Structure 1
Amino acid sequence: MSADTCLSSAQQRLWFVWQLRPDGNEYNVPRATRLRGALDVGALQRAIDRLVARHDALRASFPTVAGAPVLRIAAEASVPLPLTDLSALPTAEREAALGEAVARAALAPFDLESGPVLRAELIRLAPDDHALVLTFHHIAVDGWSMGIIDRELSALYAVMVADGDDPLPAPGRSYRDCVAAERRLLESPRRHEALDHWRAELAGAPLELALPTDRPHPTTPSFAGDSRAFPLPPELAEHVDAVAARYRVTRFQRWSGSQLPWKPTGTRRGRWVARSGRRRRPTGSPRESPSDRYSA
């Protein structure tokens, strides 16, 4: 067990939310992968354990000491890989049962005080058809690091099947190193410069989004949201890219800022002004801090 240390800023926010809703699952990060063909379950278990051994963030827990959370890294940890066998079900019922099993695994809450921050489950539909469900808490991973996890787990399983050694180079730095680097940055003069900048930029910004809604907002968030995907017409995508290049911003920044130039009636911006009574409003989006890239 390594010495306790402080959390990163992102982890502090997620820990605080977890304290408010310890039974919540909105920050679960599930990954379900269909595995067709012969599967060596023992090799898969060893590959998962080796993955956890490589990355200290996957061995983390966040107990409270003297009223404040600390980051505690276990020296070693093994992630159980329970098997749920659906192969005895009629073929027509297996896919529905698989969906239910994946949802149960993905939605179960985590206990950040004692850990772990990663759960694994193997679901068998047939001798040559499985689904691997890995569920992480967002306090340990993000979308960027999930790409690393996918690549490394695949490579580790391949060598474990052949009884080989870990072929991957050691991570360049630990998560604890990244947290320490962020802490030094926050204690430097740059922190005060950044605070002064954003206080000036956000001065006078509205504190409440005053828009009419189709139903009252609940007192307690339900997190029962949804998403919609739609393709952009090629000509619109080209226009967005051209404007983004002109102003030296990303496509995402341009698309997010497409509502910023105020225009009069008949436009989305004009409707915003009419409904909210404001000509300025802040927008925000999640981002990762340098300390989140622990696997780099």
Structure 2
Amino acid sequence: VADKESYQLSSAQKRIWFLNKYNAINRVYDTPLHIYIEPSLKKDILQDTIRFLVERHEMLRTVFIERNGEPRQIILNSIAIDLIHDEIEHMSKKEQQEYIRTTINQTDHAPFALENGPLFRIRIFNLNKKKSYLYINLHHIITDEWSVRNLLDELMKVYSAFAKRRNPELPTISNRYVDYAEWEQEQLNLGRWDTEKSYWMAELAAPLPILNLPLDFSRNRQSTNKGTVFEMKLDNEMKESLKQVCEQENVSMYMLFLAAYIQLLHYLTDQKDIIVGTPVVGRNHQEFEQIQGFFVNTLAIRTQLNDVKNLTQLLQVVREKCLNSFQN
């Protein structure tokens, strides 16, 4: 895409832009990172590292405006970086934890302003001479999990190189996120995704099921965006058993766990038409792998259990649904 004053948004960005416009104070699209780092970080080297990454990745200096009712993104030549450095070595461990928690809550009290930027915040807390606590928060409209992992990896590599007074060695970025947004719109305009559109129109044809979980509280009329994460660790024996099941049934571990989750929802609700949302990376071309930006897409995988009589059948139904969904 030739350089110009503003660029169109991708479909994914448009979704978030609209939701942000509807409720700008909602923090649901923040992507905060909390990292303990050893040895401790030096502010001046970290500042240079961030400047380098902001120059390297256009999304880190992009803002979003509305023009004639349509969202546009503008890539700035530069953007002010406010790196705050807290020395809290004199505090006890408990005091440090409370100070970090309170400070971060105060820092993020104000929502990101998409039209002004920057759409990321960084704060470093030096706990002692050997350990730092790094806090980074980015707005989802400029990033996703893949991007965050790449960014953290590059941050560590660049910081290490600068600390040794060397030039960082990173892969060359040959494309831009705005190239992806332009390419995506071109595919839509040319009708190259009409087959995929037809698949999803049929897959999500009405009536759509509403999951009626047996709750012990009254469901709010409006979404609160509050939730939690449930984690469970599997021992090695269980892992090996599950791997054997996957090999026998020719399914991935993801498909196995998705089938188990669907079976749980069926058990709790006695419903046989269930939709589960699942994220996909959305980087189907190698040239997009190094780009910072919001590529991820959420697929609504619909599973109907009317003719399913056992776990083996369920696994095959889920396998087919996943393969078709990922292909489309």
TM-score category (smaller protein): 0.7 to 0.9
| Alignment map for 1:1-296 (pairs within 5 Å) | 2-37=4-39, 39-90=41-92, 92-105=94-107, 108-232=110-234, 234=236, 236-245=238-247, 248-258=250-260, 269-273=266-270, 278-290=271-283, 293=288, 295=290
- Amino acid across the alignment from 2:44: G
The amino acid that maps onto 1:285 is T
Mapped to 2, the partners of 1:169 and 1:281 lie a distance apart of: 42
* Contact 1:25/1:107, CA 8 A, preserved across alignment: no
Q: Displacement of 1:180 after TM fit?
A: 1.7
- Larger deviation, residues 282-291 vs 177-186: 282-291
Alignment check: 8 A CA contact 2:40 2:128 kept: no
Consecutive unaligned residues of structure 2, counting only runs of 5 or more, are 292-328
Q: Once the two structures are superposed, what CA deviation does each residue of 1:253-280 show, in whole Å capped at 9, x if it has no partner?
A: 232123557xxxxx8635432xxxx421
Secondary structure in 1 matching 2:138: strand
Q: CA deviation at 1:236?
A: 4.9
How far has the Cα of 1:79 moved from its partner?
1.9
Task: Show CA shifts across 1:39-64 (max 9, x none).
Answer: 43211101011011111111111111
Q: Look up the SS of the partner of 1:152 in the other structure.
A: helix
Distance 1:133 1:212, change over 3 A: same
In structure 2, C-alpha distance between the alignment counterparts of 1:61 and 1:116, rounded to whole Å:
7
Give 1:149 deviation, angstroms. Answer: 0.8
TM score, norm. by length of structure 2? 0.77
Kept in 1: contact 2:209–2:274 (CA 8 A): no
Letter aligned with residue 171 of structure 1: I
TM-score (norm 1): 0.84
In structure 2, do the counterparts of structure 1 residues 178 and 96 end up closer, same or farther at CA, with 3 Å as the change threshold? Answer: same
Amino acid in the other structure paired with 2:290: S
**Secondary structure at the residue paired with 1:165?**
coil
Cα drift, residue 67 of structure 1: 0.9
User: How many Å apart are 1:84 and its aligned residue?
Assistant: 2.8
1:264 matched residue in structure 2: none
Task: Note if contact 1:53-1:77 (Cα within 8 Å) is conserved in structure 2.
Answer: no
SS in 1 for 2:277: coil
1:247, distance to aligned residue in structure 2 (A): 5.3
**Partners of 1:146 and 1:11 in 2: CA distance:** 16
Question: What stretches of structure 1 of length at least 5 have no aligned partner?
Answer: 262-266
Contact 1:29 1:106 in 2 (8 A): no
- One-letter code aligned to 1:269: H
Q: Give the CA deviation at 1:123.
A: 1.8
Worse-matched range after superposition: 79-88 or 132-141: 79-88
The secondary structure found in structure 2 opposite 1:283 is strand
The residue aligned with 2:314 is none
Asked if the contact 2:33/2:137 (under 8 Å) is kept, the reply is: yes
**1:28–1:106: 8 Å Cα contact kept in structure 2?**
no
User: Pairwise CA RMSD of aligned residues?
Assistant: 2.8
